[in-house]
Structure 1
Amino acid sequence: MRGSVLVLGAGMVGVSVALHLQRRGRDVVLVDRQGPGEGASFGNGGLIQREAVFPHPFPRRMSEILRVARNRSVDVAYHPAALPGFASPLLRYWWQSAPDRYAHAAAAHARLIATCLDEHLALAQGTEAMALLRPIGWMRLYSQAAQMEEAIAQADQARRQHGVNFAVLDGRALAEAEPHLLVRREGAIHWTDPLSVSDPQALTLAYAALFTQAGGAVALGDATTLERSGSGWRVTTQQGVVEAAEVVIALGAAAVTLTRRLGYAPPLFGKRGYHMHYGLRGNATLNRPILDTQSGFLLAPMRAGIRLTTGAEFAPTEAPPTPVQLARAEPVARELLPLAGRVDAAPWMGVRPCMPDMLPVIGRLPGQGGAWCAFGHAHQGLTLGPTTGRLLADMMTSEVPFLPPDPYRPERFR
């Protein structure tokens, strides 16, 4: 088992960890109950978000809290019976969003985000993955002048502090950039750095193909079968029992189910989200992803059609899908763009793994030799997968980490 690693979870984060460890000489087996990229990495807005240097804080304005509490909005929905289970992590999220603590989280988050384009391109360059990465950025639309001025001020701060690039479009420039919009808006901020991914699962599969082509193994198996095997670990897969010296838990929102058994129970909570693809009528086009602030959802042009991605739903992970946000969003989306019929037979649903302090968990699993964590990336798993893979691989192979790892250490929740 010497030098071998089990990576549990084959989303963008797990695949990236496996690939980086392999390139450092480790013998890696990637294990998931599904194929690569079939969890939360399948359903998202398809953006490598270089501009996302400021994580989403818990709302501080009472008007915003009351709006969400009414449970009728497009961007946030909740199951009332599920709220007691979310009370503790959401209270911690609110506490961590106080200005001084938020500033600390934002600084650590920005250090990860700053490298995301370089890390993706380092994996994709010279491979079929490059065709999936479109340097078109995305636009956020505003209907009120005051709201847009506030957003421009924050964008200026991101540019000064973190080198983020953007362009401001007035209503006329927005109409020229997206001529098939059916509404008029005050203007937009075009974030020009991000890469737009035409098929997020295909990108994860392309990175997984780099891993397998170099001799890596992918196995279907249940991560909950993980147990000690001497000084190492073993897990049961369809190909049989697989043993390794070390294990990486990269299971997204399901990670705490396993880590709790190993004595580590961080306050991880899941936000469910949905998407649906649509055609466009006639010769209409959407040139880049757009998020209409007034509406609260993203529309992105992808291989499968125009993807409508909803906001957050707070519900038990195991509860049946309740795509009420999609039902609320679709009529509004049809007022924004000349959408044709639905492409998918049913809405996709997935769960995004969130931490109250808005930072992922990357590092040694406390109290368990040879076990490591890589989860809790919230809405930025696609963006931060390669960055996390490189950082954790540096730590596991005793190299000097290319970023200071301390803010993301699992021990912060002990």
Structure 2
Amino acid sequence: MSVDAIVLGAGIIGVSTAVHLARRGKSVVLVDRRGAGEETSYGNAGLIQREGVVPYGFPQDLGLLLRYGLNNRIDAHYHLAALPKLLPFLSSYWWHSNASRHAVIARAYAPLIENSITEHNTLIEAAGAQSLIAKRGWLEVFRTDAVRDKEFAEADRLARDYGISYQTLSAADMAKAEPHLQGAFSGGLQWSDPWSVLDPLALTKAYLAYFESLGGRFVHGDAKSLKQVGKAWQVKTDDGLMDGASVVVALGPWSDEITYMLGYRFLLGVKRGYHMHYKPQGNAVLNNWTMDKERGYFLAPMTQGIRLTTGAEFGLRDSPKTPVQLERAEKVARSIFPLAERLDSEPWMGARPCTPDMMPVIGEAPRHKGLWFAFGHAHHGLTLGPVTGRLLAEAMTGEKPFMDISAFRPERFKL
């Protein structure tokens, strides 16, 4: 079968790209080894983070680095044996996180985030997925006045520089907003602009159904079978060989397997993460997607239950699960909210695909015609799926992208 485009990877990035190509009248086949949205896109905190204009940097404070070195925190954990292999990525990540360089990166990154809500809304309405969305923002809660005041000052800066909306909450305000939260919190910060997703997997599948209604096809196949045959790209699928004039690599943390095979050397790292769902005790209700700022975990009231998500684990992508952060987080979470039993048979683990400069790779490969990249979205894959899909589809079809994507070009790396 021959099509205009093959999209490798049916996470939120790949599905969104396939949708936007199909909306432009292109014949598209979406290929994945599993079902749509069942890998990294499944396990996130369910936020479309309109406030997330500043990407997560590597800590620069020596004292904080030493505390992370103890390896007993919830927000970050590392595998000691993996550090030699991770050192090239981590050292480059640390270098790019210098204050001046990080500020430049944030200015280039912000336009993607600024368009995240509007681009999701386009697909949400087209897919009829409004019931999966809550528009209440999300909440950070603080245990100390020092951290509270620092975060309030940063929120004020983001409001001035990027037009982000927020509300500060006193301890009394917190008690009204979340009556079942326990503990001596000094206050909270309500980010007003973000949207929350009640079921990230269901949202990806809704976008997939919309793609199929446009004439697109989803098939299971092996991305590693990709090869160039004449002027076309070919991949093996359960439905036979597929030929495409163009191919998009949107395989998240597995993207480097394909790019390496084709001669490109991206320094792609992963931040592994875990989640677990819980029932609330009795009639307890969690109203907001809530982050315990000083401890570094998230509680999200989703369709499947209250989802507890951890921070970043630095290890090899395919090494066995080590959910120590989840165990630590659960113990703390139970002290602030009445969680009942676990609802999942085992902790879920995923791997966020990360570039050392904290920005995704979006654009055409420099040495292969018809080869396009869309990966490396780190913590904001769900947030940036539709905006990435639109930008890439515009570039692929000869339209002028609605915003400048030069900052995300593959050539910024030594390939």
Q: Does TM, normalized by the shorter one, top 0.5? A: yes
Aligned-partner SS, 1:287: coil
What pairs up with 1:206-285 in 2 under 5 angstroms? 206-285=206-285
Q: Which residue of 2 aligns with 1:200?
A: 200
User: Do the aligned residues in 1 keep the contact of 2:175 with 2:181 (CA within 8 Å)?
Assistant: yes
Q: Which residue of 1 aligns with 2:297?
A: 297
User: Do the aligned residues in 2 keep the contact of 1:43 with 1:350 (CA within 8 Å)?
Assistant: yes
Relative to structure 2, which stretch is displaced further, 6-15 or 259-268?
259-268
User: Do the aligned residues in 1 keep the contact of 2:127 with 2:209 (CA within 8 Å)?
Assistant: no
Deviation of residue 146 (structure 1)?
A: 1.7
Deviation of residue 128 (structure 1)?
A: 3.1
Report the Cα distance in structure 2 between the residues aligned to 1:193 and 1:117, rounded to whole angstroms: 9
Aligned-partner SS, 2:150: helix
Deviation of residue 2 (structure 1)?
A: 7.4
Report the Cα distance in structure 2 between the residues aligned to 1:301 and 1:18, rounded to whole angstroms: 30
Q: Which residue of 1 aligns with 2:65?
A: 65
What pairs up with 1:4-403 in 2 under 5 angstroms? 4-125=4-125, 127-403=127-403
Report the Cα distance in structure 2 between the residues aligned to 1:284 and 1:127, rounded to whole angstroms: 33
Q: Which amino acid aligns with 2:171?
A: G
Report the Cα distance in structure 2 between the residues aligned to 1:84 and 1:26, rounded to whole angstroms: 45
Report the Cα distance in structure 1 between the residues aligned to 2:145 and 2:122, rounded to whole angstroms: 40
Deviation of residue 229 (structure 1)?
A: 1.5
Q: Which amino acid aligns with 2:141?
A: L
Per-residue CA shift, 1:51-91, capped at 9, x if unaligned?
00111111011111011111111111111000011100111
Across the aligned residues of Structure 1 and Structure 2, the Cα RMSD in angstroms comes to: 1.0
Deviation of residue 3 (structure 1)?
A: 6.2
Q: Which amino acid aligns with 1:99?
A: A
Q: Which amino acid aligns with 2:155?
A: A
Per-residue CA shift, 1:169-197, capped at 9, x if unaligned?
01110111000001120001000111110
User: Do the aligned residues in 2 keep the contact of 1:226 with 1:236 (CA within 8 Å)?
Assistant: yes
User: Do the aligned residues in 2 keep the contact of 1:175 with 1:184 (CA within 8 Å)?
Assistant: no
User: Any runs of at least 4 consecutive aligned residues in structure 1 with deviations exceeding 4 A, and if so which?
Assistant: none
Q: Which amino acid aligns with 2:288?
A: R
User: Do the aligned residues in 2 keep the contact of 1:264 with 1:366 (CA within 8 Å)?
Assistant: no
Q: Which amino acid aligns with 1:129?
A: A
User: Do the aligned residues in 2 keep the contact of 1:11 with 1:204 (CA within 8 Å)?
Assistant: yes
User: Do the aligned residues in 2 keep the contact of 1:16 with 1:207 (CA within 8 Å)?
Assistant: yes
Q: Which amino acid aligns with 1:331?
A: K
Per-residue CA shift, 1:343-378, capped at 9, x if unaligned?
001111110000110100000112111100000000
Unaligned stretches of 5+ residues in structure 1: none
Deviation of residue 222 (structure 1)?
A: 1.1
Deviation of residue 386 (structure 1)?
A: 0.2
User: Do the aligned residues in 2 keep the contact of 1:76 with 1:312 (CA within 8 Å)?
Assistant: yes
- Residues 225 and 3 of structure 1: CA distance in aligned 2, closer, same or farther (over 3 Å): closer
Per-residue CA shift, 1:183-237, capped at 9, x if unaligned?
1200010001111100000000000000011111001011001011110111111
Deviation of residue 240 (structure 1)?
A: 1.1
Deviation of residue 127 (structure 1)?
A: 3.7
Unaligned stretches of 5+ residues in structure 2: none
